[in-house]
Amino acid sequence: MPIESRFSTETVSRQFPCRYEAAVSLELMRKQSLLQTGGRVAEAAVVGVPHPIFGEVPAAFVAPMPGTTLDPEAIRRRCAARLADYKVPVEVRFVERLPRNPGGKVVKQELKRAWLAGREEESR
């Protein structure tokens, strides 16, 4: 029996924290690689952003290849064709490049802060 049908996500994350975090990481990697398969995307990252009903939902930050233009709705449609509804990014934002730390890893907290700052500006 699959683990999802026997336990809630909260139970799994408490009892098997490493396994749960690895599964979440793999799912994020899958979404990010799907975003990059179009050939016109230099790099992409998916972060969880606050949602009033679901707690968190995915949002994508995409850095297009130089000299290309991308349509955010086309990216969402591409994801919707290959992912479950709740895994499709609610929003796609374009950035020149993704923020990285000295070790070369994407700093997702900065992306989340940028998303929140954009939401505050939209509400004004």
Residue-by-residue DSSP string for 62-87: EEEPTT----HHHHHHHHHHHS-GGG
Report the SS3 class of residue 8: coil
Helix axes 72-82, 17-36, angle to 10 degrees: 130
Task: Check which CATH number belongs to the domain holding 48 and give it.
Answer: 3.30.300.30
User: Residue 85: its pLDDT value, please?
Assistant: 86
Residues 6+ away with beta carbon under 8 Å from 7:
15
Residue-by-residue DSSP string for 15-47: H-HHHHHHHHHHHHHHHHHHHHTTSSEEEEEEE
Q: Tally the C-alpha atoms within 13 A of residue 6's C-alpha that lie toward its C-beta.
A: 5
Domain that holds residue 10: 3-123
Number of domains in the chain: 1
**Digit-coded pLDDT (tens) for 8-37:** 444 444 444 444 344 444 455 566 666 655
User: Residue 101: its pLDDT value, please?
Assistant: 95
User: Residue 10: its pLDDT value, please?
Assistant: 45
Low-confidence ranges of the chain (pLDDT < 70): 1-39, 120-124
